[in-house]
Chains A and B, each alone.
Chain A
Amino acid sequence: MKQYKNDIAIFIAGMFILAPSLLYAAQPKFSIIPTASSITSLLLPNNFTETISYQVTNNTKITRTLTMVPITGVSQTLIGSGICGNPFTLTPQQSCTLTLTINGSQVPSTGILGGPVICKINGGGDTGPDPFLCSQPSQANILDISVTTSGQHAYVANQTGNSVSVCQVNPATGLLSNCSIAATGLTGVEGVGFNPAGTLFYTANLGASTITVCNANKTTGALSGCVNAGGSGFGEPDAVAFNPGGTIFYTSNVIGGVSACLVNSSTGQLSGCVNNTSPTFSATSDMTLNTAGTLAYVANRGNSTVSVCNVSGQSVTACNNLSGSLINAPEGITLSPSGLHAYIANAGDGKVIACDIRQDGTGLLDNCFATDGEFHGTGNVAFNNTASYAFVPNQLTNAVFVCNVTNIDGGLSGCITSRGNGFDGPSGIVIN
């Protein structure tokens, strides 16, 4: 009993000691917490915009009309359900979503470090921020934006959606953002690619047996003026490839081997198409050329091989499909920018196979091994300009995965979802 009384006394004494610390506490007046999908620390190319959202909550006991301290290069989205206006009023414990657009072309060269700072307004008709009552995100969640030179865009063929999505590629993380539909009406589109100058964008529309050409804005990534590129003899085309000069367009056809067409340098229209066949070809599902334009690599879904062929002008000859291994109903083939490795996307087992490319002039495949990559469906692997990231489409999950590229053997690792959204049966992918 005595022990019991002592325990109560100790408890009461403890409460007296702790009470002041519970009463006098530090907490933000206005909580500013990034939403789950928002990344607040970014390397932002000067041709990109990014959207970052925070949930703002009034923790005080007073209804406050609030506003954000302006930040150069940052604008606020004002329309939408639950979106904070400017200014915006929050009752105690009420929240809204502060949605910010960061424009890389307007961010100072020194970047942005800090904010967004939310303050009550001055009042008396002045809606400017009153510096006497302000809060900001925690140090880990403040805006930390660095700007860099122009970034690349990812173009994803939505085979089910008959469209092409364009997304920004973060140069530091490889993650995709700000995805939108750039072109529509592309029936069963599977292959996508650019002419060597990067000014014309082509799609191989498997469902319509046509090729489409669009003008590409390299700064914004926008596509415009998409038209049928002409040409003839296509049978379920599924690839886009060019010779180094951009004067000859190549595509593989599920039905009919490899087409080679002349390119009008100003309009991009195709003409004079030649059809190349080979006994090694079988339901050709993708193709690409080496950087010299002397070798073509053709994926044969029908016989689970890759044909390595000589290229001379519009002629694709002397194909050899005996090299390489682990190839299983291939749907895509891509060469690394270095020309040292080939990546084969297997529809048969959902694996990405990496092979060495012999540097003896034959270009044949060696030392193939299954590497990381969440491939599924039809499509191909793509690389960014520095070959630091590889992008793998997955039609099962309507996602694009981004992987690190190992310099030593070309293996892919650490594949994660790219955060890009809006894909509908992603197949072909190209980075420009």
Chain B
Amino acid sequence: MFRTNIILISFVLSSSVLATTVSQISPSNPFVIGLSAGPAWVTGNQTQAINLQPDVVKTYTASNQSSTVASVELFGGWQKAFSSMHQPLLGQLGISIVGAGNAQLSGDIWEDSDPAFDNFNYTYKVNHTHIAIKGRLVGNYNLVFEPYVSASAGLGFNHAYNFTINPKISEEVAAPGFQSNTTTTFTYSLGIGLQASFTPHLQAAIGYEFADWGQVQLASAPGQTINQGLTLNHLYGHELQLSLFYTV
């Protein structure tokens, strides 16, 4: 907590000191485009038991390790300055297109859902893209670092693929793997960060964004007679975003 306060105070002080040496965000430019990139830590794998056949049940445990992927976002929209509760703000609203790298999810497989037969581990990958309506509220206090918040909601596409099973002992024979599948799903994100202007047209930002990338589902394995493949109701991304915005 102490360290966080120090950082915030440092930001405010540095903003005051540098305020006269940097350009302001120009609210007179109505259009804004942005490019963001950064690492995202993906979580959300869940332990689940699945009946693959009427008399075959397996438990797929979830590794609690997160997967680190690269995420890229393109943003294009309009911006307008306004005041809310006497606070000078800059509002941005537009379309966001996001693509994330291959998140790898993994865990163990218990035969007969019996932990005494923890005989396999599994991995699969998820590739996420989404298109969303995104809004940003940027402080307009003439500081070097203006705070911002963001939110988006849209349609996501989670492509789950490359499901593989590896036996832990040579005596065990892997069952057929789940097949690839793309799930169309609702997705949303919430972000917070700081933004600075270098020129009246160019801004840079650094922030954190939490994203619920929505549902992920693998298709059933060849020969599987009941149920589907592994299903996650929510795949979460925690992203460190480094952004550049250009207003025209």
Contact = CB atoms under 8 A, between A and B. Distances in A.
Interface residues of B, number: 26
Interface of A: 23-29, 31-32, 59-62, 117, 119-120, 123, 130-139
B169 to A, nearest CB: 5
B220 to A, nearest CB: 11
A71 to B, nearest CB: 14
A130 B119 contact: no
Contact of A26 (B55, B56, B119, B221): B119
A138 B117 contact: no
Which of A26, A119, A134: most chain B CB closer than 10 A? A26
A60 B112 contact: yes
B53 interface: yes
A119 B173 CA distance: 9
Given A132-B175, A133-B175, A120 B119 contact: no
Given A117-B173, A130-B53, A26 B168 contact: yes
A32 B168 CA distance: 17
A60 B171 contact: no
Nearest to B119: A26
Nearest to B54: A123
Contacts of B112: 29, 60-62
Contacts of A131: 173, 175-176, 223
Contacts of B63: none
Contacts of A31: 171
Given A31-B171, A60-B114, A135-B171, 8 more contacts: A25-B115, A26-B117, A26-B119, A27-B169, A29-B117, A60-B117, A61-B112, A138-B170
Contact of B111 (A23, A29, A130): A29
Given A23-B116, A61-B112, A132-B223, A28 B172 contact: yes
A137 B52 CA distance: 24
B56 A133 contact: yes
Interface string B215-242: 0000001011000000000000000000
B163 to A, nearest CB: 14
Which of B108, B110, B171, B176: most chain A CB closer than 10 A? B171
A32 B117 contact: no
Contact of A24 (B118, B172, B223): B118
Given A117-B173, A130-B56, A132-B53, A27 B119 contact: yes
A27 B175 contact: no
Nearest to B58: A132
Contact of B176 (A28, A32, A132, A136): A132
Contacts of A123: 53-55
Contact of A32 (B108, B110, B116, B171): B171
A137 B56 contact: no
16 contacts: A23-B115, A24-B110, A25-B118, A27-B119, A28-B119, A29-B117, A60-B114, A61-B114, A62-B112, A130-B53, A131-B175, A131-B176, A132-B221, A132-B224, A135-B173, A138-B170
A133 B114 contact: no
Contacts of A26: 117-119, 168-169, 172
A61 B173 CA distance: 19
A130 B114 CA distance: 19
Contacts of A27: 116-117, 119, 169
Which of A28, A134, A136: most chain B CB closer than 10 A? A28
Q: Which 7 A-B pairs have the closest CB atoms?
A: A28-B171, A134-B173, A139-B170, A26-B168, A24-B118, A132-B175, A132-B56
B227 to A, nearest CB: 12
A138 B221 CA distance: 26
B187 to A, nearest CB: 33
B106 to A, nearest CB: 15
A396 to B, nearest CB: 42
A139 B170 CA distance: 6
A21 to B, nearest CB: 10
B17 to A, nearest CB: 53
Contacts of B53: 123, 130, 132
Contacts of A138: 169-171
B115 A137 contact: no
Nearest to B168: A26
A120 B112 CA distance: 12
Interface in B95-122: 108, 110-112, 114-119
